[in-house]
Structure 1
Amino acid sequence: MDKTSSHRFTNICVFCGSSSGKDEGFEETVKNLGKVLAEKRIHLVYRGGSLGLIGCMSKVANEGGSQILCIIPKALATCGIIGDIVGEEKIISSMHERKTEMLDNADAFIVLPNGLGTLE
């Protein structure tokens, strides 16, 4: 492997919870991640919403100047249970299409404390 190679990630998809979690340190962690993404000029791809840990992180990244892409199925976009959208919204037809779009739009993935959907 060439150690002089310097691949730079420009788009990172983050999975983390839509609740605040049981550990107060989780919120500080996601805020720090949002700040780092913005400082490094890395764009965020996420599943959408302004609630919980993922909402906190996306707001901080957005406030710091990161471009944000929310990929959300139409059923969730229209039911109002995820809170506000942060950044650009891409509405797709299904959860399967959501995963494909996330793969197509991200250079890397970060998984933080989350629900069972991430395990899938």
Structure 2
Amino acid sequence: MRSVCVFCGSSQGTEPAFMEAAIACGTLLAREGLTLVYGGGKVGLMGAVADAALAAGGKVVGVMPADLVNQEIAHTGLTELRVVNSMHERKWSMAELGDAFLCLPGGPGTFEEIFEQWTWALLGFHAKPCGFVNVSGYYDLMRATIQQMADKGFIAQPYVDMLIYAESTEEAVARFRAYDAPPPKWGVAAVEQRY
């Protein structure tokens, strides 16, 4: 594993623990020699995780659509900022660059991004781990909803269990390193990089 793609809020949220977790995340990734891949913003938890990684000597690659860059929310101090044409291209690029996907607290965009990667993983489009730093129980209700999907017959339990929930980035990274992907949902013989 050489890089971790982090999804998180462009706002700070209401609890100091959210910002603390973002700073800890960026710092840990840099100290582990892992490139941070993220959405390229300078605001909210996004900006904090990038600033922390850079301050700790890490490499940070941001990916942002030109329309958002033009609204002046792009981080200008990154190792690399990739400017793309659309949100779809942004997610595609981040998916290719990241070896694992980690969620800190965030809003609908954060949920949408991680759910897409989880879906691709269970279909066998990639074999990369997906996980959450569950700061202050932020993902407890989502986790219960996902379990209900299995309980009600909409997803097999192994694909619920493939999601990693951790109390810290350090724990998440350790579990990412030990991750073993389940067989794809439809029994695809070989996992390929298909986006």
TM-score (norm. length: structure 1): 0.87
Residue pair 1:49, 1:86 contacting (<8 A) in 2 also: no
Residue-pair matches, total: 111
Deviating 4+ runs (over 6 angstroms): none
- CA shift, 1:83, in A, is 4.9
Q: Which amino acid aligns with 2:54?
A: N
**For 1:12-51, what aligned pairs fall within 5 Å after superposition?**
12-51=4-43
2:54 to 62, 70, 92: 62
Equivalent residue number for residue 84 of structure 1: 75
Structure 1 gaps, min length 5: 1-8
Q: Contact 1:16 / 1:54 at 8 angstroms: preserved in 2? A: yes
User: Kindly, what percent of the aligned residue pairs are identical?
Assistant: 39
Residue 35 of structure 1 deviates from its aligned partner by 1.2
Superimposed CA distance per residue, residues 41-100 of structure 1 (whole angstroms, 9 cap, x where no aligned partner): 1000010111111101110101111111110001111121x2533411100111001110
Select 1:105's aligned residue among 83, 86, 97.
97
Q: Which amino acid aligns with 2:101?
A: F
Structure whose residues are more often strand by fraction: 1
Once residues 101 and 47 of structure 2 are traced to their aligned partners in structure 1, the CA distance between those partners, rounded to angstroms, is 17
Distance 1:42 1:54 in 2: 17
User: Which protein has the larger Cα radius of gyration, Structure 1 or Structure 2?
Assistant: 2
- One-letter amino acid matched to 1:71: V
